[in-house]
Structure 1
Amino acid sequence: MGRVCRIGICMLVFLFVQLQTYKHVYNIFYKEVIALVVDQVKQHGISVFLMPSGMLGTLMSLIDVLPLFSNSAWGQKSNIAFLQKHMGASFERRAKPWVATINPDDVHSGDFLALSKIRGRWGGFETLEKWVTGAFAGHTAVCLKDEDGKLWVGESGHENEKGEEIIVVIPWEEWWELTLKDNSNPHVALLPLHPELRAKFNVTAAWAYAWSMSGKPYGYHNMIFSWIDTIADNYPPPLDTHLVISAMSMWTRVQPSYAANMWNEALNKRLGTEDLDLYEIIAETEKRGMTFDHLLTIPEQDEWVYSDGKSTTCVAFILEMYKEAGILGPLSSSIQVTEFTIRDAYMLKIFESNHTRLPNWCNNGDKQLPFCQILGEYRMEFPHYNTIEPYAKMNENCPSLPPTYERPVSC
């Protein structure tokens, strides 16, 4: 059996405090933590977490995560090792050149861009995102062509001059130049739509949707809810709902505006309430005889409008555009794309299925890939790519446990 931490939140608190660089930050955080612990004990008693590796082993495992965020060869090696160990990723090195010479004439409106970063701040974040969701990519964008045949990129999560993550529509050349300059060693794949669906793609509707969303913030409100579908089967050990609520509670104390943006509004939507903070949400949940872990699993609804407008993550932005453009046909009204992870998106059976129709410039002669890899030193892989026909209520109740990420039919 494992050893016991008397108050479960202490484990996270202890680690976070050790990582503080400046004394004043430590002191502020320490006071917040003490208040949080006292409140937690008063309201809910003592929480107990069993740690099979013991306190020291658990802390050492958490500290192993830190190198993932290093923007160095060490950081890249750490991310690769983590994904190989926990997801079975292969990371086969590609033949040079690692950058494709792209002919924009061969790229069409609706073609999907999948990105994977493997070093630095975003590389580390994407690695953890991949681990919990099962996706072998960490970011997405979509191609659009205007009436003059000029190629553009629509993207939710583009960093502007102020450092804000927003939705943009920018020329392909600008997007590609920024991608090539990115020091997180991005890998990029172009996933062309199937020709039959490309012929149905309503470009006018797609552009109208893209411009209506341009400038809006990235979909922080529903980011975690595309991942959490089940009571217990979306949390890779040692994560669980108790740890999630502890983390939510801690961040609510330290950064209340961040917490309101990330989950409070979304949880209020699920309860049909307004402006409740996290603790009031928990109280309301208990009053209704509902558990908090069940509240987290209630599906996101595409029509929900938040305080700053509709909220779409990078992949939800693209799939919502697909709905507007007719790609999902009559199923559009019965599919909530804000419930989709990146893995869910690239598994959709909507992409080119005949590799002989792929452009000559993609994959540098590597015929093993069913899509176009246009950047990166390692071969990208998307298990179960292009295999699942869309269906009603898709991805509303899907588990995602590593390392196999088995997915029941029609979940």
Structure 2
Amino acid sequence: MGGRSGIGICVKQHGISVFLMPSGMLGTLLSLIDVLPLFSNTAWGQHSNLAFLEKHMGASFEKRSQPWVANIRKEDIQSGDFLALSKIRGRWGGFETLEKWVTGAFAGHTSVCLKDEKGNLWVAESGYENDKGEEVIAIVPWDEWWTMALKDESNPQIALLPLHPDVRARFNESAAWEYVRSMVGKPYGYHNMIFSWIDTIGDNYPPPLDANLVMAVMSMWTRVQPLYAANMWNEALNKRLGTEGLDLQGIIIETERRGMSFDQLLTIPEQDEWIYSDGKSTTCVAFILAMYKEAGIFAPFTESIQVTEFTIRDAYMLKIFEDNPARLPSWCNTESDKLSFCQILGEYRMELPEYNTIEPYAKMNENCPSLPPTYKRPARC
């Protein structure tokens, strides 16, 4: 068995779907075992995450010079400034590592800064854990958010990405606040989480993943956790078919009835205006970009950009951030760790490949591949 490929099967409406496990059944199981340490909230878990990202993404984790915590002046942070976080141990560290691997992002979570009319600084985010342990959209005072970040056992690395002055000049702060307040309390956007990643038939799945394996996992998960599965993908797949209430089996049957393959169904772009059973659905980064959209940052392409199609990588590659290091606050980085953005926390020097390089355009990120280790992105995909 050792060197042979394994074969998995998924029974569908019209027979059997066969998919190849390139590493064989044993190799695939060993790969899963390799993943388990990523979720350990220990030094071993952190080492496992760093090693995984170095091996599969070519990341390099250079130690930063002290201090690892910036001496932040809140008055230098403005509405719309973007926060990119990279957690490297524990439950969220492991989850983010896998997210980074499939999407090509070198960060795993995002938040955004807002100032109110009194000059108080706040942080808005989708994915804030409330008192009930639910992941929701929330806006919290900066001091509270920063204190939690400093105590976070996942050892986060955090970058502040200030908006470019020209972009900030057209940022409609009142529209941004209106949008954020309308979303507070809504759940994290699990409905569209996987669909910002899957854009193409075959060029978004790092081996041994493919669309058939994704469908098989969906089928198994539906049996074990039917409510969770419905939240994660059933509603979103119904949206793509224009149907309501179909379970996964019904979705597969309907897809085949229309002469469409399941992998084609997965690539249909998410639409920002879709309303799910619990309201509009936005992941951490889609929430920020939807706020940017309302605030006018994407003009004149506002109506032709679906921000729910963006990954974190897509967001930090947008050419909307400060490009003059001389204008960055003096406390941004240590003397020996000069970056084109502000790293405000972290043991390791953050990398954001192709940061601030792509001008917004119509229908962006609706058909982009994301294969490791280069994650090469065609122009205007």
TM class, shorter-length: over 0.9
The count of residues paired between Structure 1 and Structure 2 equals 380
- The 8 Å contact of residues 5 and 48 in structure 1, kept in 2 or not, is answered as no
Counterpart of 2:157 in structure 1 is 187
Q: Which amino acid aligns with 2:235?
A: E
The partner residue of 1:204 within 140, 158, 174 is 174
The Cα offsets for residues 361-394 of structure 1, whole Å up to 9 and x where unpaired, read as: 1112245310000000000010000000000000
CA offset at residue 53 of structure 1? 3.4
In the alignment, the residues of structure 2 paired with residue 293 and residue 313 of structure 1 have an alpha-carbon distance, to the nearest angstrom, of: 22
In the alignment, the residues of structure 2 paired with residue 320 and residue 407 of structure 1 have an alpha-carbon distance, to the nearest angstrom, of: 23
- The 8 Å contact of residues 4 and 48 in structure 1, kept in 2 or not, is answered as no
The partner residue of 1:369 within 336, 339, 359 is 339
In the alignment, the residues of structure 1 paired with residue 335 and residue 84 of structure 2 have an alpha-carbon distance, to the nearest angstrom, of: 20
Q: Which amino acid aligns with 2:338?
A: Q
CA offset at residue 178 of structure 1? 0.7
Which has more radius of gyration?
A: 1
Q: Which amino acid aligns with 1:85?
A: K
TM-score, normalised relative to structure 1: 0.90
Could you tell me the percent identity over the aligned residues? 79
Q: Map residues 25-174 of structure 1 onto 2, 5 A cutoff.
A: 40-41=10-11, 43=13, 45-174=15-144
- The 8 Å contact of residues 206 and 324 in structure 1, kept in 2 or not, is answered as yes
Pair 1:175 & 2:176 matched: no
Distance 1:270 1:371, change over 3 A: same
CA offset at residue 192 of structure 1? 0.1
Pair 1:328 & 2:298 matched: yes
In the alignment, the residues of structure 2 paired with residue 263 and residue 53 of structure 1 have an alpha-carbon distance, to the nearest angstrom, of: 27
Distance 1:259 1:51, change over 3 A: closer
Structure 1 unaligned regions, length at least 5? 10-39
In the alignment, the residues of structure 1 paired with residue 244 and residue 348 of structure 2 have an alpha-carbon distance, to the nearest angstrom, of: 47
In the alignment, the residues of structure 2 paired with residue 256 and residue 274 of structure 1 have an alpha-carbon distance, to the nearest angstrom, of: 16
More helix per residue: 1 or 2? 1
- The 8 Å contact of residues 3 and 50 in structure 1, kept in 2 or not, is answered as no
The Cα offsets for residues 82-125 of structure 1, whole Å up to 9 and x where unpaired, read as: 00010010100000110011100000000000000000000000
Counterpart of 2:4 in structure 1 is 3
In the alignment, the residues of structure 1 paired with residue 353 and residue 327 of structure 2 have an alpha-carbon distance, to the nearest angstrom, of: 21
CA offset at residue 329 of structure 1? 1.0
RMSD of the alignment, in Å? 1.4
Counterpart of 1:25 in structure 2 is none
In the alignment, the residues of structure 1 paired with residue 217 and residue 258 of structure 2 have an alpha-carbon distance, to the nearest angstrom, of: 23
Give secondary structure in 1 for the equivalent of 2:139.
strand
The Cα offsets for residues 333-376 of structure 1, whole Å up to 9 and x where unpaired, read as: 00000000000000000000001110011112245310000000
Pair 1:295 & 2:296 matched: no
Counterpart of 1:23 in structure 2 is none
> Any runs of at least 4 consecutive aligned residues in structure 1 with deviations exceeding 2 A, and if so which?
1-6, 40-58, 365-368
TM-score, normalised relative to structure 2: 0.97
In the alignment, the residues of structure 2 paired with residue 256 and residue 343 of structure 1 have an alpha-carbon distance, to the nearest angstrom, of: 31
Give secondary structure in 1 for the equivalent of 2:377.
coil
The partner residue of 1:223 within 187, 193, 198 is 193
The partner residue of 1:264 within 215, 223, 234 is 234
